[in-house]
Structure formats: C-alpha cells, structure tokens
Amino acid sequence: MKVRVTFKDPDGVFECIRDTAKESVQAMETLDDEERKDLVESRQDSIGEKLSKWIEYGEYLTVEFDTAAGTARVVVSGR
C-alpha cells in the first residue's frame, strides 16, 4: 500500500536552514559580526533555493510511504 503524507511546518524548515547556515560559518574566526551575519543570510538563501526542489512554499513536504516495499520517498511537486 502507498500512502502520501504532506508535512506542513513553516518554522521547522526556516529554523533548520538558518541553523545549517550558522554552523557553516561558525568556525570562520576572521569574520567580524557584520560579515558573519551577511554570509549566514546569503547561505540561507542559497540553501532555501536548493531545497525548493522538494519543499513547496518553504513549508510543505510530501512523502510517499510504500508499506509493501518498506520505502519512503519525497514526492516532487507537479510530478
């Protein structure tokens, strides 16, 4: 049996992207606070753009579970 579930969590997606961007620049000790902030924002935009292939409107994610095969896959919007 195949079951599709759409997850809606606007805060979760934003927070995970923000945290990932922050972690990616955390070790860059030569940056001042303003440079760090700008780089985090730039990386957030870049990560969000890359994830938009799977996450619609920045918050919706549809996963199809196949109980017979024991698998799960992200269902791409419009396909």
Q: Give the pLDDT confidence score for residue 59 in this predicted structure.
A: 81
Q: Give the pLDDT confidence score for residue 72 in this predicted structure.
A: 96
Q: Give the pLDDT confidence score for residue 79 in this predicted structure.
A: 43
Alpha carbons 79 and 77: distance in angstroms, whole number: 6
- Rounded to two decimals, the pTM is 0.72
Q: Give the pLDDT confidence score for residue 11 in this predicted structure.
A: 87
Q: Give the pLDDT confidence score for residue 68 in this predicted structure.
A: 94
CB 54 within 8 A of CB 76: yes
Which residues of the chain register pLDDT less than 70?
77-79
Alpha carbons 10 and 59: distance in angstroms, whole number: 4
